[in-house]
Amino acid sequence: MERTIVGFHQDEAGAWVAELSCLHGQHIRHQPPFRLAPWVLDEAERASRVGAPIECPLCDRAELPGGLEVVRSTRIFDEGSMPAGLRRAHRVAAGLWGRLHVEEGTLRFRAATQPPMEVELGPGGIQPIPPETDHDVEPEGPVRFFVQFLGRSRASGG
């Protein structure tokens, strides 16, 4: 899944990490002859890459980034009260992740990742939802579920 580089920082070992619009970080290393990225060593070159697209395999696997906190939650929905829009392709906003929680019953989750994701969630099932990714849910009979939205804490500088 293609994301945008929004900045860079160095990790505790001094390696450069690209900060992505999806809230993941991706190491960019220049280690010839196997990994060639000499631009990461130059401040102006790094700055010129901000806004550039980059593949994020963690989003394709719907792996929740670390350091997120719950911003808000929906009410509990059932198969009759869930908004119709959840049954068709829709997206979580930029800068946020969703986390689907199934309390009772079974819910089918589909996402337009690469490869496409389709999972069946039963009671206690939890499914991260990447930002800006088409997805839908479909109840498989009676169900109770809710969605949490997660983002970076403003206090932590995110």
Q: What is the pLDDT of residues 119-148, one digit of tens each?
A: 999 999 999 999 999 999 999 999 999 999
The neighbouring-strand residues paired with 66 are none
Structure tokens, 152: 């970076």
pLDDT tens across 30-80, in order? 988 888 999 999 999 999 999 999 999 999 999 999 999 999 999 999 999
Residue ranges, CATH 2.60.120.10, the chain:
68-152
Sequence-distant (6+) residues with CB within 8 A of 117 are 62, 109, 110, 111
The CATH architecture annotation of domain 68-152 reads Sandwich (2.60)
pLDDT of 11: 96
**In this structure, are residues 144 and 77 in contact, taking their beta carbons and an 8 Å threshold?**
yes
Please count the residues of the chain.
158
**In this structure, are residues 3 and 59 in contact, taking their beta carbons and an 8 Å threshold?**
yes
**In this structure, are residues 149 and 75 in contact, taking their beta carbons and an 8 Å threshold?**
no
pLDDT reading at 157 higher than 50: no
pLDDT reading at 97 higher than 90: yes
The helix or strand, by DSSP H or E, that contains position 47, with its residue range, turns out to be helix 43-49
